[in-house]
Amino acid sequence: MPRPIHFEIPADNPDRAIAFYQSAFGWQFMKWEGPQPYWLITTGPKDTPGIDGGMMPRRAPSESTVNTLQVPSLEDAVAADKTRRKDYGSENADSRCGLVGLLHRHRGQCIRVVATRSSGGVVTPGADAFHR
């Protein structure tokens, strides 16, 4: 059964959102030193249940939180999604997370699926592709 391994929150005002999540939940934020504004979110210690995520400025009014699930096969996940669009299956060569697909659901909700690369027949862990 696929499990969530990462989430992304789009924010109209990232500074205000960061202040809220820090105050309300004690989440920690670390600015990513990349070409686009992005913050890595740590929601708790690594040895406790839960997932970490990210935050970026909202790019469109309809953009909503995206949850990322790890699946054994991107092709099987896409085939099972009867409501999918055709924008999936691109390989990000500079990422450790392997194949990435974005499955669009109704009412603007999105779920991203990640299928990890196989190494000698063994599937490598996908959660490390993010930051926890």
The answer to whether residue 116 scores a pLDDT higher than 70 is no
The stretch 40-67 carries a mean pLDDT of 92
Between the CA of residue 46 and those of 30, 43, 127, 132, what are the distances in Å?
Answer: 16, 9, 12, 7
Which distant-in-sequence residues (6+ apart) come within 8 Å of 64 by Cβ?
Answer: 10, 108, 109, 110
The pLDDT, as a whole number, for residue 8 is: 93
For residues 17 and 62, the model is more confident at 17
For residues 118 and 24, the model is more confident at 24
How far is it, in rounded angstroms, from Cα 29 to Cα 40?
6
| Domain of residue 59, residue span | 3-129
Select from 73, 93, 117, 91 the least CA-distant residue to 128: 117
How far is it, in rounded angstroms, from Cα 109 to Cα 66?
7
How far is it, in rounded angstroms, from Cα 62 to Cα 68?
18
Residue at 68: amino acid letter:
T
The pLDDT, as a whole number, for residue 108 is: 59
pLDDT tens-digit profile of 22-42? 999 999 999 999 899 999 999
The pLDDT, as a whole number, for residue 1 is: 73
Q: Residues 12, 18: contact at Cβ < 8 Å?
A: no
- Prediction pTM value: 0.70
Our count of domains for the chain comes to 1
pLDDT tens-digit profile of 65-111? 888 888 887 777 767 765 544 444 433 333 444 556 666 555 556 66
The stretch 43-69 carries a mean pLDDT of 91
Q: What is the CATH number of the domain that holds 27?
A: 3.10.180.10
Which contiguous run of DSSP H or E holds residue 77?
A: helix 74-80
Residue at 39: amino acid letter:
W
